[in-house]
C-alpha cells in the first residue's frame, strides 16, 4: 500500500503504529544482512588486492560504512537489479515510476 502524501505532519500515533515498526524492521535488516556483507567484502577485497592499510577493525568498518554512500554509481544498472529483485523476491511489478506505483504479482 502506498500512503498519500499530505502537507501536514503525521500524528505520534500514526508514527508509532506505522512508521516506527517499518523503520525498526529496516534497521534490523540492514544491520543483520547488508552491513555484515559490505564490511566483510570491503575487508577481504582490500586485503587480497593489497590495498589494506594498517588500522583497527573499527577503522576499516567505518571506512566500509562511509563508502556505502556511493557516488557515481551506474543508476540504470542498480535500477535494473532493483526491478528484478522486486519482481522475483517480493512479487511486485513497478507499473509507474513517478509517482511510484506497483502491481502485486500472483504466482
Percent of the chain at pLDDT above 70? 100
Is 34 domain-assigned?
A: yes
pTM of this prediction? 0.78
Answer whether residue 62 is part of any domain: yes
Q: Measured between alpha carbons, how far is 23 from 21 in angstroms, rounded to an integer?
A: 6
**Residue whose grid cell is 593489497:** 50
The secondary structure element, H or E, covering residue 29 is helix 20-29
Count of domains in the chain?
Answer: 2
Q: Could you tell me the residue range of the domain that residue 88 belongs to?
A: 73-107
SS3 state at 23 = helix
Please indicate, yes or no, if residue 102 is contained in any of the structural domains: yes
**pLDDT at res. 2:** 83
In a shared domain, residues 62 and 29: yes
**pLDDT above 80 for 104:** yes
For residue 58, what is its C-alpha cell? 573499527
> Is it the case that residue 71 has pLDDT exceeding 80?
no
Amino acid at each position: 500500500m502506498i500512503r498519500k502524501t499530505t502537507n501536514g505532519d503525521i500524528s505520534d500515533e500514526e508514527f508509532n503504529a506505522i512508521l516506527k515498526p517499518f523503520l525498526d524492521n529496516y534497521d534490523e535488516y540492514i544491520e543483520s544482512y547488508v552491513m555484515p556483507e559490505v564490511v566483510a567484502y570491503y575487508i577481504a577485497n582490500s586485503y587480497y588486492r593489497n590495498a589494506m592499510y594498517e588500522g583497527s577493525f573499527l577503522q576499516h568498518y567505518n571506512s566500509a560504512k562511509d563508502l556505502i554512500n556511493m557516488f557515481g554509481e551506474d543508476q540504470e544498472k542498480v535500477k535494473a537489479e532493483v526491478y528484478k529483485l522486486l519482481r522475483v523476491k517480493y512479487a511486485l511489478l513497478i507499473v509507474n515510476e513517478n509517482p511510484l506505483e506497483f502491481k502485486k504479482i500472483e504466482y
